[in-house]
Amino acid sequence: KNQVEQSPQSLIILEGKNCTLQCNYTVSPFSNLRWYKQDTGRGPVSLTIMTFSENTKSNGRYTATLDADTKQSSLHITASQLSDSASYICVVSDRGSTLGRLYFGRGTQLTVWP
Amino acid sequence: EADIYQTPRYLVIGTGKKITLECSQTMGHDKMYWYQQDPGMELHLIHYSYGVNSTEKGDLSSESTVSRIRTEHFPLTLESARPSHTSQYLCASSSGQLLEQYFGPGTRLTVT
């Protein structure tokens, strides 16, 4: 069964600290993996998208890694800011159809405290 | 920020009413999607479209219907709203080989 599991479910950190969010997936065949940031009451916004051949990709203070062999990804946030408080969603796409079926994780709810 | 819009942003409506959630995008994307998301849960695909006059049901069974008469417009209609339809509805469109999706701000629907 194709699944995307994220951990932790929620996380609280102090402003300025770093954190790492985890994503494990069983989706096959694999096409790409995306990390989205979703603010409360808003739609998700793409942070990174990685294909099979990419091991790491950065977007400002966000760095995503991908290990396609172990089917694991992580999102590292450096020097957290209050505006980083949001849900971070891991999404995996398969190659099974022209549509590129997406499998969504439930997200990690990050809260940054001053 | 993506040019994809949803209206209304919030809607409270009584049981049995007919409602239409609007979604429009100005990016010229062929593919558009509707997702349903409950608090703390993953997004579930309820409808998608490959282009004009093309609509398909998604993974999650939904009593809603959609239409795609114009490329930029993908409205979702509930003929008779029920409390079980209370949820957040997200519209998205995609482009490119990787089909990267751009999401609208969502419509929070409450059916009383």
Specify the pLDDT at position A91: 94
Given a cut of 60, whether residue B1 has pLDDT beyond it is no
* Closest by Cα among A60, A38, A61, A35 to A48: A35
Q: Quick check: A19 and A11 in contact, CB under 8 A?
A: yes
Percent over 70 (pLDDT), chain A: 96
The alpha carbon of B8 is separated from its chain's Cα centroid by a whole number of angstroms, namely 12
Q: Counting Cβ atoms within 10 Å, is residue A40 exposed (0-12), middle (13-18) or buried (19+)?
A: exposed
Q: Do B101 and A46 touch (CB under 8 A)?
A: yes
Specify the pLDDT at position B62: 81
Is A108 in CB contact (< 8 Å) with chain B? no
**Cα dihedral across residues B21, B84, A89, B40: positive or negative:** positive
Residues of chain A found within 8 Å of residue B92, distances taken between Cβ atoms? 43
Residues of chain B found within 8 Å of residue A106, distances taken between Cβ atoms? 40-42
* Closest by Cα among B107, B73, B88, B31 to A102: B31
Residues 47 through 86 of chain B touching chain A, CB cutoff 8 Å: 48, 50
Pick from A46, A89, A105: CB nearest B100: A46
* Closest by Cα among A4, A17, A5 to A112: A17
CA distances from A10 to A22, A24, A85 (A): 11, 16, 11
Q: Do A100 and B99 touch (CB under 8 A)?
A: yes
Specify the pLDDT at position B39: 86
Given a cut of 80, whether residue A95 has pLDDT beyond it is no
Given a cut of 90, whether residue B97 has pLDDT beyond it is no
Query: How many residues are there in chain B?
Result: 112
* Higher per-residue pLDDT: A2 or A4: A4
Mean pLDDT of B60-75: 92
Strand B10-13 to B107-111 pairing? parallel
Q: Quick check: A12 and A21 in contact, CB under 8 A?
A: no
